[in-house]
Each structure stands twice: as C-alpha cells, then as structure tokens.
Amino acid sequence: MSGHVFHPGHSDLHGITVVLETTGGALYVGRYHEETPNGVLLHDVAEHRAGAGGTSREEFFAKTMKFGVRAQHRNLVVPGGEVKRITRLVDWPAG
C-alpha cells in the first residue's frame, strides 16, 4: 500500500506543505490543496504578518521547523491576485 495515493488528479503540490507569500506581506504556511476560481486553498495554516508585534519572520520559521506548523486556520483561501509566490516549505531558505 506504500505510495498509494487516495486522491489522484491534483496538482503536484497537492498535500505538500508550502509557504505562500502574498503581495501584501502576509505569509502563510499550510498544506496546499488546490487552486480554485476563488484562489488557492490551503489546509491547517499558520500565519505570519511582519510588524504585527509578534515574532520575526526568522523566529517564526525557526519555530515552525522545530515544532511544526501550528495551524491558526483549518482552511484558508488566498485570492489568486494576492499570491506572490508559493514555495515548498522544505525548499524555503530558512528550512
């Protein structure tokens, strides 16, 4: 059963944990599901916003790499026009 995929037909990123950067500076880490007419659907999403008085981006990623993706959103749709770049988490420079 190894390697068996229950949900064929999705994009290569389906099920992969990605970093989605937005044009507005927000950054989301979550499992890519699919691109819909409304935008990119992610599951179990952690969010980081620069300058929000919280941790720095570097701290956010260091914590995510060690302790995992602490989801703040079960499902999140990021409008297509706000998507700047999508990178696999394992390929993220801090990763």
Binding site for other proteins (CB under 8 A): 1-7, 14-17, 44, 66-71, 88-90
Smallest distance, other proteins to C-beta of residue 35, A? 17
Smallest distance, other proteins to C-beta of residue 44, A? 8
The Cα angle at residue 26 between residues 81 and 69, in degrees rounded to 5: 115
Q: Are strands 26-36 and 17-22 parallel, antiparallel or unpaired?
A: antiparallel
Smallest distance, other proteins to C-beta of residue 86, A? 14
Find the helix or strand (DSSP H, E) in which 18 lies.
strand 17-22
User: 79 or 95: whose CB is closer to other proteins?
Assistant: 95
* Residues 87/19, Cβ–Cβ less than 8 Å: yes
User: 23 or 34: whose CB is closer to other proteins?
Assistant: 34
